[in-house]
Amino acid sequence: MSHKTKKFLSYYRPYLGLFFADMFFALLAAVISLVYPMIVRYITNNVLTGAGIAEMVPTIIKLLFLMLGLLILEYISNYFISYKGHIMGAKMEYDMRNDIFEHYQKLSFNFFDNQKTGQLMSRITNDLFDITELCHHGPEDLVISIIKFVGAFIILLQINLPLTLIVFAFLPIMFFFAVRMRGRMSSAFRKNRERIAEINAQVEDNISGIRVV
């Protein structure tokens, strides 16, 4: 593991409890989203076709209460992910910003002579914000995507094996286009950040020059 990777992961260390709680609720929300279709499928295939009205209604009511409980649990999970997860991201952003500012304090005068203030400010504001968004949303989205993908694949295999294989046969094609578009988006995103840094530098120069004028 490189030094940069270790340094990046070290920002999670003070908030490991919050991080694992966030991952737990992300996992829970993903699992609940897979349970809903299974309940609806059970009602359609078993309850509505295999019993009379007298037996059907109580079963449907029980399942509706079950879905309501899952809905409340999913809401709590998403609330924790959105609120507490962003708190973790904000704290990590605070730590990173302090470290960057401390690093700026140790740099030589020649460095600042060759750099524009607006670009330096852009690094500790816009760029750092995007990094902390990755710190927060990256692990969550990864866990949710893996759980949903694997769970959906297993469920569909039990329903219809040939149709499942046909559907998932298109995944390599989708993956190819996703990787290809990712390269273009990364290039466009990099140019966008560079342009924003230039704009910030121009704004800073113009504002600081007002006093002279």
Dihedral sign for Cα atoms in the order 148, 151, 154, 155: negative
- Please, are residues 19 and 81 in contact by the beta-carbon 8 Å criterion? no
Tally of helices (H runs) and strands (E runs) in the chain: 9, 0
Question: Which pair of tokens denotes residue 208?
Answer: 């600081």
d(CA 135, CA 116): 28
Nearest one of 134, 103, 111, 121 to 11, comparing CA atoms: 134
- Please, are residues 92 and 15 in contact by the beta-carbon 8 Å criterion? yes
d(CA 146, CA 154): 12
The per-residue DSSP string of 131-185 comes to: HHHHHHHHHHHHHHHHHHHHHHHHHHHHH-HHHHHHHHTTHHHHHHHHHHHHHHH
pLDDT score for 28: 93
CATH architecture of 3-212: Up-down Bundle (1.20)
Task: Give, for all 213 residues of the chain, the pLDDT tens digit.
Answer: 677 788 888 888 899 999 999 999 999 999 999 998 888 888 888 777 766 677 778 888 888 899 999 999 999 999 999 888 888 888 988 898 888 888 888 888 887 777 777 777 777 777 788 888 888 888 888 899 999 989 988 988 888 888 888 888 888 888 888 887 877 777 777 777 777 767 766 766 666 655 555
Single-letter amino acid, residue 43: I
